[in-house]
């Protein structure tokens, strides 16, 4: 019998866990597959782990990995994929934005022989500003990285063991999971899923965190900012040279004029600013190389529950 693993990152989700399990377990039991739920707690200090452990006490299929401290959703999902043992892995959040009754559709789709099935949001429950943000985020990302990430990606997605093993070969510290999923390629399809509002609690991704994510994603999957620096540098140097020749020509052959220091000053300030800006871009990459070169573990785990 094949086995399905749910991979579920949790961070301050005490109000969602019980409802999540109440809705999920009957669906899993009805699949006719083996199953497990792998929760990864990303350092919550509320009752999240206590509640999960209470459920895990009478249900060995409910498993918990506890991070030592908050290490980010990307790390949590990576750990979940590492320790899940199913033939199929389904990644979803516990906030019920993607409804558990969609699970059977994901399973039957992957059983058609795909390696990865993305959920696409049928309708978006997000507020106006979030919608605009999403548009800009995914638009810029696709343009910068050439990754062609499908529009309106839901959180829910399912993939098989082969795909999970390939994912685990990606050893980078800076990890943008959606990017890696697309980069893996393999046989991929999409299905539409209905959406609900977050069951309880608040989103942990405010605008600032989302911007950070976008920023990192671009730098992790693109060298375009570096090429931009080179191109602009070349264009400006060329422009400077032309200007020099033109000015010299006018001064010597047409009419003599006094040098204007304001224009000189603004040219200096502009070029200094540009230089700093592009040194900064290079520095961001250096910082990332530094982080990669240390090769630290991706996450630090405090405790396992219900793992052999
Ligand atoms: N999450 C996490 N670590 C964090 C922040 C969030 O593991 O540092 C989890 C969180 O518990 C949730 C998922 O990531 O299961 C997505 O977060 P959320 O629902 O707050 O984001 P949104 O759906 O609003 O983008
Ligand atoms: Mg959510």
pLDDT by residue (tens digit) across 51-106? Answer: 999 999 999 999 999 999 999 999 999 999 999 999 999 999 999 999 999 999 99
C-alpha to C-alpha distance for 132 and 287, rounded to whole angstroms = 30
Give 177-209 pLDDT, tens digit per residue.
Answer: 999 999 998 999 999 999 888 888 888 877 788
Looking at all shown ligands, the one closest to residue 11's CA atom is 1
Domain of residue 258, residue span = 224-293
**Residue position matching structure tokens 């609900």:** 196
Please check whether residue 120 lies inside any domain of the structure. yes
Name the band, by pLDDT with cuts 50, 70 and 90, for residue 216. confident
The Å distance, Cα 262 to ligand 1 centre, comes to 52
DSSP 254: I
Domain count, the chain: 2
Please check whether residue 137 lies inside any domain of the structure. no
Please tell me if the CB atom of residue 42 comes closer than 6 angstroms to any atom of ligand 1: yes
**Judgement on whether residues 234 and 199 belong to the same structural domain of the protein:** no
Decide if 306 contacts 62 (C-beta within 8 A): yes
The CB density around residue 161, as the number of other CB atoms within 10 Å, is: 17
CA atoms within 13 A on the CB side of 16: 24
Helices 224-249 and 128-145: angle between axes, nearest 10 degrees:
80
Taking all residues of the chain, what is their mean pLDDT, rounded to a whole number? 89
Decide if 194 contacts 122 (C-beta within 8 A): yes
C-alpha to C-alpha distance for 207 and 215, rounded to whole angstroms = 12
Instruction: Look at residue 266 and tell me whether its pLDDT is greater than 80.
Output: no
Please check whether residue 133 lies inside any domain of the structure. no
| pLDDT at residue number 126 | 66
Query: In terms of DSSP bridges, do strands 34-41 and 62-67 run parallel, antiparallel, or are they unpaired?
Result: parallel
Please check whether residue 80 lies inside any domain of the structure. yes
The Å distance, Cα 6 to ligand 2 centre, comes to 16
Please tell me if the CB atom of residue 221 comes closer than 6 angstroms to any atom of ligand 1: no
Decide if 288 contacts 226 (C-beta within 8 A): no
Which residues touch 73 (CB under 8 Å, ≥6 apart)? Answer: 9, 11, 42, 204
Task: Give me the mean pLDDT over the 25-30 stretch.
Answer: 96
**Judgement on whether residues 250 and 192 belong to the same structural domain of the protein:** no
| pLDDT at residue number 40 | 97
**Judgement on whether residues 41 and 157 belong to the same structural domain of the protein:** yes
**Judgement on whether residues 45 and 174 belong to the same structural domain of the protein:** yes
DSSP 123: S
The SS3 of residue 69 is coil
Rg for the chain (alpha carbons), in Å? 25
Please check whether residue 209 lies inside any domain of the structure. no
**Judgement on whether residues 95 and 46 belong to the same structural domain of the protein:** yes
| Residue 77 to residues 39, 225, 234, Cα–Cα distance (Å) | 9, 28, 42
The CB density around residue 225, as the number of other CB atoms within 10 Å, is: 16
Please tell me if the CB atom of residue 72 comes closer than 6 angstroms to any atom of ligand 1: yes
HEC secondary structure over 163-185: HHHHHHHCCCCCCCHHHHHHHHC
**Judgement on whether residues 83 and 230 belong to the same structural domain of the protein:** no
Ligand 1 atom 3: residue of nearest CA: 73
Query: In terms of DSSP bridges, do strands 153-160 and 116-121 run parallel, antiparallel, or are they unpaired?
Result: antiparallel
Please tell me if the CB atom of residue 66 comes closer than 6 angstroms to any atom of ligand 1: no
Please check whether residue 217 lies inside any domain of the structure. no
**Judgement on whether residues 200 and 235 belong to the same structural domain of the protein:** no
Among 100, 70, 93, 66, residue whose Cα is nearest residue 202 = 93
| pLDDT at residue number 189 | 95
What does the chain come to in residues? 308
**What spatial distance separates the first Cα and last Cα of the chain, rounded to whole Å?**
20
| pLDDT at residue number 227 | 82
**Judgement on whether residues 120 and 264 belong to the same structural domain of the protein:** no
Tell me the residue ranges of DSSP E strands in the chain: 3-10, 34-41, 62-67, 88-91, 116-121, 153-160, 188-193, 301-305
Give 219-231 pLDDT, tens digit per residue.
Answer: 888 888 888 888 8
**Judgement on whether residues 185 and 264 belong to the same structural domain of the protein:** no
CA angle 226, 228, 234 (to 5 degrees): 110
Please tell me if the CB atom of residue 80 comes closer than 6 angstroms to any atom of ligand 1: no
Please tell me if the CB atom of residue 9 comes closer than 6 angstroms to any atom of ligand 1: yes
**Judgement on whether residues 266 and 300 belong to the same structural domain of the protein:** no
Task: Give me the mean pLDDT over the 107-112 stretch.
Answer: 96
Please check whether residue 135 lies inside any domain of the structure. no
Atom of ligand 1 nearest to the CA of 93: 15
Please check whether residue 211 lies inside any domain of the structure. no
Which residues touch 57 (CB under 8 Å, ≥6 apart)? Answer: none
**Judgement on whether residues 184 and 255 belong to the same structural domain of the protein:** no
Decide if 273 contacts 208 (C-beta within 8 A): no
Give 119-174 pLDDT, tens digit per residue.
Answer: 998 876 666 777 787 788 888 888 888 888 888 889 999 999 999 999 999 989 88
Q: What is the CATH number of the domain that holds 113?
A: 3.90.550.10
**Judgement on whether residues 117 and 254 belong to the same structural domain of the protein:** no
């Amino acid at each position: 019998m094949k086995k399905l693993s749910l991979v579920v990152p949790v961070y301050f989700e005490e109000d969602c866990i019980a409802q999540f399990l109440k809705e999920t377990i009957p669906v899993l039991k009805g699949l006719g597959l083996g199953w497990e739920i792998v929760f990864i707690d990303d350092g919550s200090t509320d009752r999240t782990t206590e509640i999960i452990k209470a459920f895990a006490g009478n249900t060995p299929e409910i498993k918990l990995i506890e991070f030592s401290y908050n290490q980010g959703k990307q790390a949590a999902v990576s750990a979940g994929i590492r320790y899940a043992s199913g033939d199929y892995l389904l990644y979803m959040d516990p906030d019920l934005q993607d409804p558990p009754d969609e699970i059977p559709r994901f399973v039957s789709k992957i059983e058609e022989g795909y390696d990865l099935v993305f959920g696409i949001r049928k309708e978006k429950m997000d507020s106006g500003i979030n919608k605009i943000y999403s548009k800009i985020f995914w638009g810029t990302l696709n343009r910068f990285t050439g990754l062609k990430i499908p529009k309106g990606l839901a959180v829910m997605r399912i993939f098989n063991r082969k795909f999970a093993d390939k994912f685990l070969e990606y050893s980078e510290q800076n990890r943008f999971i959606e990017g890696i999923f697309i980069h893996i390629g393999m046989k991929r399809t999409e299905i539409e899923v209905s959406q609900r509002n977050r069951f309880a609690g608040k989103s942990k991704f405010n605008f600032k965190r989302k911007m950070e994510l976008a920023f990192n994603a671009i730098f992790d999957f693109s060298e375009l900012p570096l090429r931009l620096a080179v191109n602009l540098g070349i264009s400006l140097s060329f422009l400077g040279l032309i200007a020099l020749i033109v000015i010299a020509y006018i001064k010597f052959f047409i009419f003599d004029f006094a040098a204007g220091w304001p224009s000189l000053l603004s040219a200096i300030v502009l070029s200094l600013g540009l230089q700093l800006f592009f040194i900064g871009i290079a520095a961001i990459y250096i910082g990332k190389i530094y982080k990669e070169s240390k090769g630290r573990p991706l996450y630090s785990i405090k405790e396992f529950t219900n793992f052999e």
